[in-house]
């Protein structure tokens, strides 16, 4: 079966409550069951009001982060159970802004992925190299390490809920999108690696999203590549018209 495309909007730390509601409503209005799968990932405080707006639509709700523990003394953190109760289907794990900006490590991200899948969430697990790593021909070594350490020991019965996002750090928020060939090469490498780590069947059906300066103009070229199964979109997901164009490009 061909893999269905997924387009997820990562709103990061953006939008007022009014903007979040309006954006979610516009995305819901422009999306049909025939569209690619679509998710939006608002900031934590807007999850419940956005869930309300999305009710009855085909747009899924996602969170941008979670903590591996179920509850307890973890000030400022949010558990996977809370996300589920708030209506989330997806959670982003391992975004580069948390890996590099906040020091989250491969083993910690592995704990998060395990906890979120076990709880019943779909995980969008991000990997990607820094510019210096690409220039030093380290891209595959970095993807290998992030996948091997991040995707180990995942619950076998939940692997159908795993999504990987290839997000080269040099392309995120920079306007420098990877070429379709660069994305395809990295995605094919990740799929091969996942085959080794989680098995061929999982690898074959795994959606691998591209993220990093995706726009309405660059989306179709990227999504046309055989191993690019959609996008994780930051900046261009904050305007309904550009996000809807990207969804259309995913078919």
| Residue of 95, 97, 104, 187 with catalytic role | 95
Under the criterion CB under 6 A, does residue 62 sit at the interface with ligand PGA? no
Among 211, 229, 240, 246, binds ligand PGA (CB under 6 A): 211
Rg (CA), the chain: 17
Distance, in Å, from the CA atom of 168 to the CA atom of 95, rounded to the nearest integer, reads 10
Cβ of residue 238: shortest distance to ligand PGA, in angstroms? 9
For residues 13 and 238, what is the distance between their CA atoms, to the nearest angstrom? 11
Binding mask 4-43 for ligand PGA (x = CB under 6 A): ------x---------------------------------
Give min distance, CB of 108 to ligand PGA, in A.
19
Q: Which range binds ligand PGA by CB under 6 A, 57-65, 108-116, 200-208, 209-217?
A: 209-217
Burial zone of 16 (CB within 10 Å; 0-12 exposed, 13-18 middle, 19+ buried):
exposed
Which is closer to ligand PGA, CB of 78 or CB of 127?
Answer: 127
Q: Which of 36, 82, 214, 244 binds ligand PGA (CB under 6 A)?
A: 214
Site for ligand PGA in 141-200 (CB under 6 A): 167, 172-173
**Does the annotation count 95 as an active-site position?**
yes
Helical residues (DSSP H) of the chain, grouped into ranges: 17-29, 47-54, 80-85, 96-99, 106-119, 131-135, 139-150, 180-198, 200-205, 219-223, 240-249
Q: What angle do CA 91, 93, 98 make, to 5 degrees?
A: 125
Using CA atoms, how far apart are residues 208 and 190, in angstroms rounded to an integer?
A: 8
Binding site for ligand PGA (CB under 6 A): 10, 167, 172-173, 211-214, 232-236
- Residues annotated as catalytic are 95, 167
């Amino acid at each position: 079966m061909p893999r269905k495309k997924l387009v997820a909007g990562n709103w990061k730390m953006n939008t007022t409550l009014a903007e979040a509601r309006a954006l979610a409503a516009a995305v819901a209005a422009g999306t049909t069951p025939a569209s690619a799968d679509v998710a939006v990932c608002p900031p934590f405080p807007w999850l419940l009001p956005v869930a309300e707006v999305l009710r009855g639509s085909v747009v899924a709700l996602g969170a941008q982060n979670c903590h591996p523990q179920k509850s307890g003394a973890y000030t400022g953190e949010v558990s996977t159970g809370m996300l589920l109760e708030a209506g989330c289907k997806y959670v982003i794990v391992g975004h580069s802004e948390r890996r590099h900006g906040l020091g989250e490590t491969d083993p910690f991200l592995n704990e998060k992925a395990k906890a979120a899948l076990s709880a019943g969430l779909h995980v969008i697990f991000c990997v990607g190299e820094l510019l210096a790593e690409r220039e030093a021909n380290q891209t595959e070594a970095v993807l290998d390490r992030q996948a091997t350490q991040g995707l180990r020991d995942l619950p076998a019965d939940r692997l159908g809920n795993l999504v990987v996002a290839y997000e080269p750090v040099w392309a995120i928020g920079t306007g420098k999108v990877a070429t379709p060939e660069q994305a395809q090469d990295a995605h094919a490498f990740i799929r091969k690696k996942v085959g080794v780590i989680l098995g061929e069947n999982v690898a074959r059906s795994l959606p691998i999203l591209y993220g990093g300066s995706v726009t309405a103009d660059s989306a179709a070229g990227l999504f046309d590549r055989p191993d690019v199964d959609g996008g994780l979109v930051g900046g261009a997901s904050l305007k309904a018209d550009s996000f809807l164009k990207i969804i259309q490009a995913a078919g």
